[in-house]
Structure 1
Amino acid sequence: MPGICEGRVVIVTGAGRGLGRAHARAYAAEGARVVVNDLGVGPDGSGESGGPAHDVVAEIRAAGGEAVAHGGDIATTEGAASLIGTALDTYGRLDTLVNNAGFLRDRMLVNLDEDAWDAVMRVHLKGHFLPLKHAGAYWRAESKAGRTPRACVINTSSGAGLLGSVGQGNYSAAKAGILGLTMVASAELGAYGVCVNAIAPAARTRMTEETFAETMAAPEEGAFDAMAPENVSPLVVWLGSEASAGVTGRVFEAEAGRITVMEGWRPGPTADRGARWTPAEAGETTLKLLAGAEVPGKVYGAR
């Protein structure tokens, strides 16, 4: 029986390890032809190696699938353009883009230097924007030529982007920015036949193994591995298939066997006096509104 992504061409960034590797393999298992992007850097973004991307391509081909490696830096215009070009030159089309690449440079805010801030913003936020920009330009051209695509983008945010995470001000800000980018891209690219969604996954990867060492430990043999990256991939594959048509501008948490539709900022309790408040009146009214409002979720790591 054909897979739900049979014949589709899918790009996965940061696909050499962890979640990206699991996504790439899952797409290939469902019949997609996959462009496996990975710069081969360390958990903090240092060093480069083409090995991880080529290893995943070899795994996919050994299982009977189709894949090609791309080792460019997708946080540069040249690298992002060549990424989309690799899909078009190799397979003649592009149907799905999974933005997943990233790394960590954790510090408490008072110890966080500009280089660590800029590096994390660059790989996560710019590394989502540039592939999305170039893929979007391709899909727009296809639509204007009368070949309206059934295209999909899945961006990767985090619980840190939804709630914040102590010691991860740069990462939390970047992941929150990805959510805003997702909403804008969904609105702008919808006219060209593109659905854009985001996930906030939780899984055992190089980026999380130290932060969540106790809760993300591997299970006993034969038990369900709740924190395996492969648990997140089924949702990502479905979102990248034609079966998800019409689903756009949404954010999903995915962890273990759980999928949650996240509901973002919405108007809560409000008061309108029809005239300007004094500071004291504004404060008194605000306290009354807060008393009837939902309590925010706790920041990860907060005491």
Structure 2
Amino acid sequence: MNIKIDQLEKSYKKKKALYPLSLSLNTGIYGLLGPNGAGKSTLMNILATVEKPTHGKVMVDNQEIWQIEKIYKSKLGYLPQTFGMMPELTGREFLMYIASLKGISSKEAANNIQSLLQQVNLTEVADNALHSYSGGMKQRIGICQALLNRPSFLLLDEPTVGLDPDERIHFKHLILKQAEHSTVLLSTHIVSDVEALATHIIVMKHGRVLATGKVNELKQAVKGMIWKVPNKSHSSLSYPHIIGSNHMNNDGFEETKVISFVSPSPQAIPVEATLEDVYLYNIHKDKLSTDNSNINNNLNGQDGWIG
């Protein structure tokens, strides 16, 4: 399925939730990254036809989605951040109910549900009432309902909330399989959720798309800007920089990732960029000066700016 988002905007009274954005999505997994309030859920709600944009349009195979809404929804799977359940129903009954709303025949629904329950490891509790389910179990039921109709376009908004490490692994295998024949848009503010899944990344902040492209292309854009420094050298860091994650090196000493146009410390060692580095750079790049004269002055011994 080919999805084209053309100059999409969304406003709530005087508040702008989405500034004009244009994207093209095809078969595969797209990771939608951004902090809380970035506009990710607003975009997902529009793509799910839960909301309409203030301006702009969404085209699927050259047809506007609100003109073919019934056909579009039949090909759509959606897991919102929060979704309602009927606590007195069992997991299986709830999924059968959702399948009926989607127009799936009873026989097809029963087969799909049994397969999905096995894939998310819920077979043993499938006939227990939903009110007895843990948060992680309910989230897995939510994943099942999104996949019931074998969607061509799958929207997942913070899908791994409440999942333990084993469940996350099962989820990743399930989505990788789904993406072989579908377009998957996975929205999250947790970079590790898409690290092993997405081939394309979209980074958003304050309702705007800051960067989009293949993972390797985005990593190439920050090549030569990623450094690791000993934690004890923090106080000596100079030049504009962004502080990244901490980790232990092979000798048992703590090191910190730093993003900077130039080496931020005599102890700094250049390293390869990760997706987390790409994300941090795009979210916080206003902290980095592009004024080369400012950097040159710092190199000549003048005071540096601690980022």
Q: TM-score, normalised by structure 1?
A: 0.32
Larger helix share, 1 or 2? 1
Bigger Rg, which one: 2
Larger strand share, 1 or 2? 2
Higher RCO, 1 vs 2 (CA within 8 Å, ≥6 residues apart): 2
